[in-house]
Amino acid sequence: MSLPQAGKCCSCGTCMDALGLPAEQMIEGTERSTMDALAAATIAGDKVLVF
């Protein structure tokens, strides 16, 4: 599975660590991220979906 090129998908690094999810299990096209990056993307983005 991979993501379309139209958007960007970031995964919370702290959440990944807490759940024991290794980077090797991430969906192609996603990236490990931080709360600082989420804040910057939220400010810069026209549309943001967080769940």
Q: What is the average per-residue pLDDT within 2-10?
A: 71
Q: Nearest 5°: CA angle at 2, between 18 and 30?
A: 40
Taking residues 4-13, what's their average pLDDT?
A: 79
Model confidence at 2, in pLDDT bands (50, 70, 90)?
A: low
**Contact yes or no for 30/11 (Cβ under 8 A):** yes
Pairwise CA distance, residues 8 & 12, whole Å? 13
How does residue 4 score in pLDDT terms, banded at 50, 70 and 90?
Answer: low
* Phi/psi of residue 10, nearest 5 degrees: -120, 145
Contact 34, 13 (CB under 8 A): yes
One-letter amino acid at 36 equals: D
The tokens for 17 are: 């660590």
Does pLDDT of 41 surpass 70? yes
Q: Is the pTM of this model over 0.85?
A: no
Q: What is the pLDDT of residue 8?
A: 79
